Each structure stands twice: as C-alpha cells, then as structure tokens.
Amino acid sequence: MNMNWNQLADQSLAGECLSQDSALAVLRAPDTAILEQLAAAYRVRQHYWGNRVRLHYLLNAQSGLCPEDCHYCSQSKISSAEIEKYPLMATDKILAAADRAHQLKAGTFCMVISGRSPSESVFNRVLEAIQTVKTNYDLKICACLGLLSKEQVDRLAAVGVDRVNHNLNTSEDYHSQICSTHTFDHRTETVQHIKAAGITTCSGGILGMGESDQDVIDLALSLRQLGVTSVPVNFLIPIPGTPFAGLQTLTPRHCLRMLCLFRFLLPSQEIRIAGGREVHLRSLQPLGLYAANSIFVGDYLTTPGQAAHQDWEMIRDAGFVLEAPDGSPLAANNIAIPV
C-alpha cells in the first residue's frame, strides 16, 4: 500500500480519525519510510506543541506489596523480581524528590504508589504529602494511585492535584491476557471519574506485551474516545521474575512507527515517551521527539532511566527546547546541564 504520510497529517490536523487501513499502514510500513512518517508526524506535533519538550519526574512513593497480577509488573503479587519493597514514603522523602524534580526543571511531579487502590490511611497521607509539595514548589502534581472512586478523585481535586494518571495499558480485547484481577472497564471507569472531576486526564499504555497491531490501534482509539489529555507511551521492559520476562518483540523502528500512529490519532494530546525508551529506542531516542513532546527525566518505577544530563543534551542536540512549568520555552543556552 503506497501511503501519502503528509495526507495522514492533513487528516489529523483537520480532526479526522484515520481509517483502519491507514492506521495499519502506519504500523506496517517498511523501515525505509520511517523518516517520511516522522516528518509527517512532526507537522502535527509542531502545530500543537511547537519545538518544546515537557519534562516529568516520577517518584515511586510506595513499592511492591501489590495484590494485582499484572503480568508486566515487577511489583505484582505473581512477580519474583528482586526489587526494593517499602510502604508509603515519609513526607520529607517525598519533598526531597520534589526538590530534585524542581532542580531538573520538570514541570510535573508524578507521585505513584503500588497497589489496587489506596487504603483510607494511606490516601490521607498522600493528600497531606501533595499539599506539602504544592506549598513548597511550583510543580504540577500528577497522582497515580490505582483504581479510584469518584469520591477519592474529588478529594484529590480539592487539595490541588493537577492531573491523575491511570493507564488503560492495552486494548479492551487484549486486557485479559495481561491481568485477571481487574478488568478494562475498571480502568476506564477510573479515567471517567478523573474527567468528571475536572482534573487533567493522564492515561496511556504499554506496548510490546504480545499484542497485535490491531490492539495497538484499539488502545489509541480508546484513549481518543475518552478524550484523554496526557498520554504516556511505555515500551515493555521484560523484567526477570515477571511472566513477560522473555518477551522481546520490539525494534527501535517499530517503536517510532507506534509513536507516529499515536500522534496521528491523538494530534493535540501531550504524548510522553515513558518507560522503556532507553531500552527499545536506544540510539534513535531523539527521533522519538519528532512525534512525542514529553519525556520522563530520571528513573522509572523499578527500572533506571538514563542520566538527566543525557536527556538535556539529547533535547538540545536535536534542536528542541525545554518547556518551563508555565508552558513557555526555556532559554536552553542559559541553563546549566544537571548532574
């Protein structure tokens, strides 16, 4: 199928949804087409986001001890991965992490806890920690706390949480292959609670878990239908001790094709290259920024990221600029690269 990638960019900019055939063509294009695809995706990205790159900082504030059986996760009850396990961090440690986020010029501080849903005591401590961070730093707060009720989301809104993350992870059809302790509907319900509370919705997925091309498309379409604002795109890190430890299905070029697809289907959304970018994009990481406009700086939940100075150098060398917390571009030449 001979595709005109610029025509897909035109459709995306016009608010039109790609046809199934066009979406499949993006994912199944030959490697020789990747630069043309990225150029077309960049037209859409540049229209909404210019040349700016947003930085997010992730804190694993409570690790392990999760009763769910998500097959990709080193913190699940069925994982034997050797990870550090601990209850909710003390507020002073959370504040220290927020300070690091501030130093790295991250606009959003993402606070994550493991588990299906927080207990009342843990939830109250999370609320207190969020208020402390908001008092001390000019950071947007994204809370990722598992499945949430409407009442819990309303309480997060009341203390000033800017966004709540809850990933769909995969397509509705494939969800039963990655988890049996909760359903796809449980996840979409939480996202709908977030949207109803007027908080920015953050939801994405994990690619490379054995899903089909159609599942990748269906995930992006579900996010489009939900009207999600921020979309983290993770690439599976096959962690030893998890059921998906042996999965090795991704190549750097295919990761780039999937990022292009997400940009075409989610034109105005913040698309963040999240966990696994260093593992799967490798030397092609800078090319991912032609479709995506955001990255995590620092480490992930139980896996390390590359050094912050490498992220900053990558952004500068590719001709992009950092985005300040208020959305304006930072004068990159006047900022010292962090250690």
Q: What would the pLDDT profile of 195-205 be if each residue is shown by its tens digit?
A: 999 999 999 99
Catalytic residue check, 260: no
Instruction: Show Cβ contacts of residue 219 under 8 Å, excluding neighbours closer than 6 positions.
Output: 168, 169, 170, 171, 205, 211
Length of the chain: 339
What are the residues whose beta carbons fall under 8 Å from the beta carbon of 108, sequence distance 6 or more?
Answer: 54, 55, 56, 57, 139, 140, 141, 142, 162, 163
Find the mean pLDDT for residues 287-306.
88
Is 17 an active-site residue?
no
Asked if 72 and 244 count as a contact pair (C-beta separation under 8 A), the reply is yes
Averaged pLDDT, 106-115? 93
Task: Supply 230's token pair.
Answer: 């921020």
Sketch the domain layout of the chain as residue ranges. 18-327
Q: Is the pLDDT of residue 280 over 60?
A: yes
CA-wise closest residue to 328 among 14, 54, 8, 48: 54
The whole-chain average pLDDT of the chain stands at 93
The 10 Å Cβ neighbour count of residue 162 is 19
- The active-site residue out of 66, 144, 255, 260 is 66
Torsion sign, CA atoms 327, 331, 334, 335:
positive
Q: What is the mean predicted confidence (pLDDT) over 277-302? A: 92
Per-residue pLDDT at 335 exceeds 70:
no
Of 228, 248, 262, which is closest to residue 27 (Cα–Cα)? 262
Give the pLDDT of residue 187: 96
Give the bridge partners for 291, in sequence order: none
Query: Would you say 18 and 11 are in contact if contact means Cβ atoms under 8 Å apart?
Result: yes
Q: How do residues 310-320 score in pLDDT, each as one tens digit? A: 999 999 999 99
Q: Which of 54, 73, 125, 163 is catalytic?
A: 73
Higher-confidence residue: 145 or 326? 145
- Tell me 52's DSSP state: E
Residue 299: its pLDDT value, please? 75
Active site annotation includes 110: yes
CA–CA gap between residue 321 and residue 186 (Å, rounded): 38
pLDDT 10s digits, 170-198: 999 999 999 999 999 999 999 999 999 99
| Across 264-281, average pLDDT | 96
Q: What is the pLDDT of residue 77?
A: 84
Average pLDDT over residues 231-242: 94
Q: How far apart are CA 293 and CA 122, in angstroms?
A: 33
Q: Output the pLDDT for position 192.
A: 97
The catalytic position among 52, 163, 257, 272 is: 272
Task: Judge whether 2 and 25 are in contact, CB under 8 Å.
Answer: no
- What are the CA-CA distances from residue 304 to residues 21, 28, 81, 256 (Å)? 37, 31, 15, 21
Q: Do 291 and 42 form a contact (C-beta atoms < 8 A)?
A: yes
Which position among 54, 70, 187, 255 bears the catalytic label?
A: 70
For residue 157, the tally of other CB atoms under 10 A from its CB is: 16
Q: What does the pLDDT read at residue 39?
A: 98
Task: For residue 276, give the nearest of 253, 297, 300, 308 by alpha carbon.
Answer: 300
Q: Which two tokens stand for residue 93?
A: 């440690």
The average pLDDT across 274-295 equals: 96
Does pLDDT of 156 surpass 70?
Answer: yes
Give the active site residue among 52, 125, 142, 260: 142
Tens-place pLDDT, residues 63-79:
888 988 899 888 888 88
Q: Say if CB 177 and CB 168 are below 8 A apart.
A: no
Tokens representing 326? Answer: 């208020």
- HSE-CB of 47 using CA atoms within 13 angstroms: 18
Say what the pLDDT of residue 302 is: 73
Please state, in angstroms and rounded to a whole number, the distance separating the CA atoms of residues 291 and 51: 11
- pLDDT over threshold 90, residue 337: no
User: Among the options 110, 144, 179, 260, which is catalytic?
Assistant: 110
- C-alpha 28: how far from chain center: 23
One-letter amino acid for residue 115 of the chain: G
Distance CA 333, CA 182 (A): 48
- Which one is catalytic: 125, 179, 187, 202? 202
> Closest Cα partner for 265 from 216, 302, 304?
216
pLDDT at 336 over 80: no
Q: Say whether domain 18-327 belongs to CATH 3.20.20.70.
A: yes
- Let me know if 179 is a catalytic residue: no
pLDDT of residue 298: 82
| Catalytic residue list contains 255 | no
334, pLDDT greater than 80: no
Structure confidence at residue 1 (pLDDT): 57
Q: Mean per-residue pLDDT for 92-121?
A: 93
Of 96, 229, 93, which is closest to residue 163 (Cα–Cα)? 229
Determine the average pLDDT of the residues in 24-29. 98
